[in-house]
A and B are shown apart, each in its own frame.
Chain A
Amino acid sequence: MRTLTRVLEGIGSTLQLLVQSLSHVPTLPRQWGRFIEQCYLIGYTTLPIVAILSFFIGSVLALQSGYSMENFGAKQFIGSLVGLSIARELGPVMCAILLAGRVGSAIAAELASMKVYQEIDALETMNIPPARILVLPRLAAVLVMMPVLAIIANLVGWFGGAIVAKYTDFIAIDPPAYFAALRRFMEFKDVLNGLIKAEVFGFAVVLVSCNIGLNTRGGPREIGASVTRAVVTSLILILVLDYFVTKALL
């Protein structure tokens, strides 16, 4: 019962924070500097790990599917399998999981320490809403950067698959054939659906991490607990949202 109350409280405070942040949208143009800074932190600093992971996910996907599909004589479809899997599912989910680990944890840690060391209280006494200067620029930045990350994850993942498809003996498919198969069975809608999912996941991760950080009470130990809670909640939320968003987009 207590856990249920806490979950409901968490949902309520997250929605409240969202409404508060959205009420400050008109102030966004004069927060350009903060927005750019957050774009850099969310997008640029996450890019290398997204690229590395996407490359190897694409590679492994090509390797596994090549190994399995060889038995059916269907290895010429590896390109479409890798392409669709990454664009529709793995790209956005992977980006969101990395975002939760890399950015969500950092946001929760920063805001939790600001709360514990009374910086948030100081903002409130100055009549500066934390939702305006701490949450809104991050939400705007993730909306802009998440599709960029997802597109890069797609491209690098496809490329990783192509490399493995060419240089693995039992697959040996040239990149033109690989990409021709990828294009044949993939539509723009598939990529678009993936980008929509990435957008939803990214937004949820940042909002939840901000809320958990801002609601931290206690001392340094609670900062660590908030970081863990932000990452775990984000991961669960990504998987739950993945089901519902996928169903809605099918």
Chain B
Amino acid sequence: MADSRCSATRNPFTHTETPAVSVAIEDLSKSFGKLEVLKHVSFQVEPGEIFVLMGPSGSGKSVLLKHIVGLELPSGGRVTVDGRDAAAAETREQIRLALVFQAGALFNSMTVYNNLALYLREHRVADEAGIREKVMRALQILSLEAAAEKYPSELSGGMKKRVAIARALVMEPQLMLYDEPTSELDPVMAATISEIIATLKDQYHVTTIVVSHDRDLALNIADRVGILMGGQLVFLGTRDELRASADPRVVDFLNPKIDLANPRFKQLET
């Protein structure tokens, strides 16, 4: 996998190039009532890199991701995409960003083909022939041509994830976000999804942010990794720095030991 970061995103359909975008999280805080989910988180994602945000369940990773796409508003601090406020509606008009949801969030009443065509039709990107060409190309990239006329309920978990990625791809995104792309998948399918993410980034130089607690994914495809714990960023660095980290929280997160003599859930009780 190429590790170099590129400053231009290549369109998968027209092969034209547009500048890759950066993302800046500045002193971001988020509370739901009295529950503080994110506490003064700051980091920067460089144009064209794969940034993997890891952390235990409930650490605030998905909430942070929702701030980047403008689905949540910060309680404090701000999130910018290429210098533009992520919460502003205009940002989504000026920058093409695509989010691959954890459960796919495919439109259940539509076939796979129509799931992919919806964005193109609604934004009148092309005529029906052009839309067909783009959709079939995206399906071909993800090896999903045979599933075009199937409904989401007829697909396996891995296929749903691939369709969700294909749907994101037809938007010709400058920024791709993945929310737990390998969760609920068998190890081989999880590796396949990791390969797809890395390949799309290598071929099209899309700035990519992956929220995951998949250690293999982070250690194999990330340019940089951030680890969130309890709403705070406890690690930020390259994957080599992650491997070398001596921080006990990071070590325990990456290589948790199953300790039957002193189980963690008993410690939580006390």
Contacts and interface: CB of A to CB of B under 8 A. Distances in A.
Interface of A: 114, 117-119, 121-122, 124-128, 133
A128 B105 contact: no
Contact of B107 (A119, A124, A127): A119
Interface of B: 69-71, 92-93, 97-99, 101, 103, 105-108, 118-119, 122-123, 171
A102 B119 CA distance: 31
Contact of A126 (B103, B106, B108, B119): B119
A125 B122 contact: no
Contacts of B103: 117-118
B262 to A, nearest CB: 34
Nearest to A110: B109
A122 B108 CA distance: 12
B97 A125 contact: yes
Contacts of A118: 101, 103, 105
B69 A128 contact: no
Nearest to A31: B122
Contacts of B98: 125-126
A126 B101 contact: no
A126 B123 CA distance: 9
Contacts of A126: 98, 118-119, 122, 171
Contacts, number: 42
A127 B71 contact: no
Which 7 pairs, one residue from A and one from B, show the smallest C-beta to C-beta distance?
A118-B105, A122-B105, A125-B99, A127-B92, A128-B122, A126-B119, A125-B69
Nearest to A127: B92
Nearest to B98: A125
B199 to A, nearest CB: 22
B71 A121 contact: yes
B118 A127 contact: no
B185 to A, nearest CB: 18
Nearest to B179: A118
B108 A119 contact: yes
A122 B92 CA distance: 13
Contact of B105 (A119, A127, A133): A119
B119 A121 contact: no
Nearest to B110: A119
Contact of B93 (A124, A125, A127): A127
A133 B109 CA distance: 14
15 contacts: A117-B108, A118-B103, A121-B71, A121-B99, A122-B105, A124-B71, A125-B71, A125-B97, A126-B118, A126-B171, A127-B93, A128-B119, A128-B122, A128-B123, A133-B122
A122 B171 CA distance: 12
